[in-house]
Amino acid sequence: MKRLLAAGLLLLTTLAQAGNAPVQVQGVRLWAAPDNTRVVFDTSAAAEHRLFVLANPDRLVIDLKGARLAPDFKKRLQAAGLVKGLRTAPRNKTDLRVVLDLKRPVRPRSFVLKPNDQYGHRLVIDLHDSRLAAAGKKPKPRKQARPAVRDLVIAIDAGHGGDDPGARGKRGVREKDVVLGIARRLAKLVEKEPGMKPVLVRTGDYYIGLRKRIDKARRHRADLFISIHADAFRDRRVHGSSVYVLSQRGASSEMARWLAARENAADLVGGVSLDDKDDLLAEVLLDLAQSATIETSQGVAASVLRELRKIGKVHKRHVQHAGFVVLKSPDIPSLLVETAFISNPAEEKRLRSAAHQQKVAQAIMNGIRRYYRANPPAGTRLAMARAQAGRIQRHVIRRGDTLSHIAKRYGVSMRSLRSVNGLHGDRLLVGKVLTIPARDS
């Protein structure tokens, strides 16, 4: 009994000492996005903190209660985004003060994250430019009407980023790096495609909130949103690519969300305000918009999956359905491509290869092209090209035909007839088939 009591007292003493042990700040990481900067402190335990901003010069002060620097902590921080540098000093003998020197005034936001498979305890500081934050409070300007004839806009979203690396392969390949490489290659292919225009949602190694990814696509009036990922599973033998669209359950939850904030939903139903509509009418309008969007998503996804089969194994033979947040836009057809299983050693090796990344990007591009050439949205250059192709006629030359008579009959110029058919003069051969171009404007 005495031994048990002694052991219990020793355990309580150890726990008490551990509870009073200072939190160690082990390291710091920084990611700069176009509109904000994220600073992440790795700590040995949850860090109790407070922060405040100072001006002339601009700086952010972070006081960490009962904390100190770890012996191997590096004080230097490479300047990026809104941060010029970092300084540290003890405070009140028990606390730690960290000062971020800033390039301009900021609005900070902080939160603590618990350990996960990738990281331990973290203190996250998000810095937003005060000028941009203030501008964001002003009424949003009305969106300009789309031009009469426009390019098809493809929003390309590389998953994860910054302090969210996504899945990690056995050899250390990170999902966020692989998918950004594929996204950049796909953007270059879209840029070269006549009648299409790419928008990269994430252009570098930083994190963007899931809803903000959709918002960026909407600001650019995207016709398609495609999110690129690399899957992982505990069984390393699992392999192959998959393509997802929004599930019915995900669609229902998203409709409820928009109905709850219907005053902001006009863009989702062709500019028609839902604010003054009763519940039933608003639901019908949203349902019609969402159904058309999901139908297009399914069509593009099936086309992309068919092309992915040509370059490797697919994990699922049919398009899958899930409630991923990035698929929930009621007005933008959206799909998520799991390019491969990064947890599979063979697929991890291929994903790291620039040549394979190009193959994946090309397969996705081929799928997009195949679908939209057959189903071009109204008002796009692709739709105009398809309409013109449908108007092309052919004429079989008969005895007595002349080039001028044929041009007059079809309402086109002799010059365009010569150009389309490769003629260098007015001589015609009976039985030869002439292609009649679209009418001259």
The answer to whether residue 132 scores a pLDDT higher than 80 is no
Question: pLDDT (tens digit, 9 = 90+) per residue, 140-149?
Answer: 544 445 556 7
Question: pLDDT (tens digit, 9 = 90+) per residue, 16-37?
Answer: 444 567 899 998 989 888 888 9
Domains (ranges, CATH) in the chain?
20-131 (2.60.40.3500), 152-382 (3.40.630.40), 392-436 (3.10.350.10)
30 Cβ neighbours under 8 A, 6+ residues apart: 37, 38, 39, 40, 77, 78, 80, 81, 83
Spatial CA neighbour of 224 closest among 300, 310, 114, 132: 300
Q: What pTM does this model have?
A: 0.73
The answer to whether residue 428 scores a pLDDT higher than 80 is yes
Contact 169, 345 (CB under 8 A): yes
pLDDT of residue 225: 95
The answer to whether residue 273 scores a pLDDT higher than 60 is no
pLDDT of residue 7: 45
pLDDT of residue 441: 39
The answer to whether residue 231 scores a pLDDT higher than 90 is no
User: 250 or 355, which is more confident?
Assistant: 355
The answer to whether residue 287 scores a pLDDT higher than 70 is no
pLDDT of residue 283: 56
Question: pLDDT (tens digit, 9 = 90+) per residue, 184-219?
Answer: 999 999 999 999 999 999 999 998 988 899 999 989
Q: Tell me which H or E stretch contains 178.
A: helix 175-192
Choose the weakest-confidence range: 84-98, 208-222, 268-282, 360-374. 268-282
Percent of the chain with pLDDT over 90: 40
Q: Confidence class of residue 161 from pLDDT cuts 50, 70 and 90?
A: very high
The answer to whether residue 90 scores a pLDDT higher than 50 is yes
Contact 180, 227 (CB under 8 A): no
pLDDT of residue 278: 54
C-alpha to C-alpha distances, 33 to 42, 109, 205, nearest whole angstrom: 20, 15, 8
The whole-angstrom separation of Cα 397 and Cα 430 is 5
The whole-angstrom separation of Cα 370 and Cα 257 is 33
Spatial CA neighbour of 156 closest among 227, 212, 222, 206: 227
Q: Confidence class of residue 250 from pLDDT cuts 50, 70 and 90?
A: low
Percent of the chain with pLDDT over 70: 80
The answer to whether residue 360 scores a pLDDT higher than 90 is yes
Reduce the DSSP state of residue 219 to 3 states and report it: helix
The answer to whether residue 113 scores a pLDDT higher than 70 is yes
| Mean pLDDT score of the chain | 82
CA-based torsion, 423, 429, 430, 433: positive or negative: negative
The answer to whether residue 2 scores a pLDDT higher than 70 is no
pLDDT of residue 184: 97
pLDDT of residue 11: 44
pLDDT of residue 211: 86
The answer to whether residue 13 scores a pLDDT higher than 70 is no
Spatial CA neighbour of 332 closest among 226, 188, 195, 191: 226
The answer to whether residue 415 scores a pLDDT higher than 60 is yes
Q: Please give the distance of CA 162 from its chain centroid, rounded to a whole number.
A: 14
389 Cβ neighbours under 8 A, 6+ residues apart: none
The answer to whether residue 65 scores a pLDDT higher than 80 is yes
Q: Confidence class of residue 405 from pLDDT cuts 50, 70 and 90?
A: confident
pLDDT of residue 386: 77
User: 11 or 379, which is more confident?
Assistant: 379
The whole-angstrom separation of Cα 106 and Cα 39 is 13
pLDDT of residue 8: 46
| Residue 332 CB burial class (10 angstroms; 0-12, 13-18, ≥19) | buried
The answer to whether residue 173 scores a pLDDT higher than 60 is yes
8 Cβ neighbours under 8 A, 6+ residues apart: none
Mean pLDDT over residues 342-367, rounded?
A: 94
Q: Confidence class of residue 158 from pLDDT cuts 50, 70 and 90?
A: very high
Mean pLDDT over residues 320-337, rounded?
A: 86
